[in-house]
């Protein structure tokens, strides 16, 4: 489909003497509806990505279409309903990402030639829709912002893949930049530390330790050269230095494993069980790899893992919110975007 820019928009861009610049925030994605059909559409797109499941051979396709997409959507839909934003009829991830884009646009409102939009890698609004919208506003340059602090091929790289696929269909392509990972950026570490300290001050108990839980990944991906694990370690070590904690007080774990392959360890759920059985009674969990609260933080951590901890003898459990669209969180996004827009604005 050809994108047609209105003559008035084109004239305005030329007359301003400054090319319009678009900023596209991109997060992972979400089903459009919290029911089995909606989850099935989302999972099919997500699990058909060779960056996510690298072996897309016949056996995987049979398993995906014959088993996973027949059974998993029903159970995952129940999980989504537990956290669904019923007022807007959408997932919290979509609500928060929209708000992040709105707040960034407000922060850049003094730069009339800059436009901000947002998209999901899987689901809606799509990356294509976001790029089309920015081009329709006359943007000749676009900064894509994958909202993943730690790089991995299954998150950051697949955002780039999709952006490139969209641009490959255009005759008149905008100039493109992509923000780098920011896993040990000073602003990011400071925002995490501030959010942790602020949250702990609101609790009626003092955690004996904090668990930093990152999304998991098959160990084989790291063995092939993915830097994700090293980025997670770097984030955790920087956070320990900032908070004055060692590895016994701020633990690193990985959650959300899928299938039978070995994933990065230690596993979050097994750690919850072990800590409780060893006599730890009060903990807090932070999820530094997520820029916005979603199913993996609001349901898997705050509900499932809290239950695992308490079932095995734990007493107090608190899930620390993601940075989201908080002031510290927006400071990170603004800092990252303004740094990468140098020379364009």
Structure tokens at 324: 């989201």
What is the rounded distance in angstroms from the CA atom of residue 166 to the CA atom of residue 305? Answer: 39
With the CA atoms of 222, 228, 230 and 236 taken in that order, what torsion angle do they form, in degrees rounded to the nearest 10?
-140
Does 311 count as an annotated binding residue?
no
DSSP state of 341: T
Which backbone phi and psi does 26 adopt, to 5 degrees? -130, 125
Please list the alpha-helical segments (H only) found in 84-137.
92-107, 127-136
Q: 209 has which bridge partners?
A: 283
3-state secondary structure of 174: coil
Q: Which helix (H) or strand (E) holds 262?
A: none
Q: Angle formed by the axes of helices 127-136 and 158-168, to 10°?
A: 50
Alpha-carbon torsion 116, 121, 124, 128, what sign?
positive
Collapsing DSSP to helix, strand or coil, 84 comes out as coil
In degrees, rounded to 5, the angle at the alpha carbon of residue 251 between the alpha carbons of residues 246 and 254 is 150
Question: Residue 248 carries which DSSP code?
Answer: T
Listed residue (288, 285, 189) closest to 239, CA to CA: 189
Is 215 among the annotated ligand-binding positions? yes
Q: What is the DSSP letter of 300?
A: I
193 within 8 A of 243, measured Cβ to Cβ: yes
Give how far the C-alpha of residue 289 lies from the chain's centroid of Cα atoms, to the nearest Å: 7
Which positions make up the binding site?
215, 296
Which residues are annotated as part of the binding site for Fe(2+)?
A: 215, 296
């Amino acid at each position: 489909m050809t994108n047609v820019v209105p003559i008035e928009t084109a004239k305005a861009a030329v007359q301003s003497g400054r090319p319009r610049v678009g900023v596209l925030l991109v997060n992972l994605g979400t089903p459009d509806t919290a029911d089995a059909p909606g989850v099935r559409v989302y999972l099919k797109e997500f699990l058909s990505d060779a960056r996510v499941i690298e072996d897309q051979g016949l056996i995987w396709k049979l398993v995906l279409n014959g088993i996973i997409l027949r059974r998993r959507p029903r159970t995952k839909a129940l999980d989504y309903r537990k956290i669904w934003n019923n007022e807007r009829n959408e997932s919290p991830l979509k609500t928060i990402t929209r708000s992040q884009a709105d707040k960034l646009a407000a922060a850049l409102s003094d730069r009339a030639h800059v436009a901000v939009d947002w998209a999901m890698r899987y689901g809606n609004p799509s990356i294509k829709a976001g790029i089309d919208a920015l081009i329709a506003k006359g943007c000749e340059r676009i900064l894509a912002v994958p909202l993943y602090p730690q790089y991995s091929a299954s998150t950051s790289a697949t955002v780039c893949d999709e952006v490139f696929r969209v641009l490959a269909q255009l005759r008149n392509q905008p100039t493109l930049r992509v923000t780098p990972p920011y896993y040990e950026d000073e602003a990011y570490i400071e925002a995490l530390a501030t959010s942790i300290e602020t949250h702990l001050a609101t609790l009626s108990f003092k955690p004996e330790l904090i668990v930093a839980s990152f999304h998991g990944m098959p160990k084989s991906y790291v063995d092939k050269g993915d830097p994700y694990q090293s980025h997670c370690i770097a984030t955790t070590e920087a956070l320990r230095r900032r908070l004055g904690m060692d590895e016994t007080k701020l633990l690193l774990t990985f959650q959300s494993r899928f299938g039978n392959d070995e994933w990065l360890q230690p596993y979050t759920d097994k750690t919850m069980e072990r800590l409780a059985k060893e006599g730890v009674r009060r903990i807090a969990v932070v999820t530094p790899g997520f820029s916005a609260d979603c199913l993996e933080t609001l349901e898997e951590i705050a509900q499932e893992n809290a239950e695992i901890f308490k079932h095995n003898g734990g007493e107090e459990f608190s899930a620390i919110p993601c940075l989201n669209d908080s002031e510290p969180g927006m400071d990170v996004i603004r800092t990252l975007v303004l740094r990468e827009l140098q020379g364009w604005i």
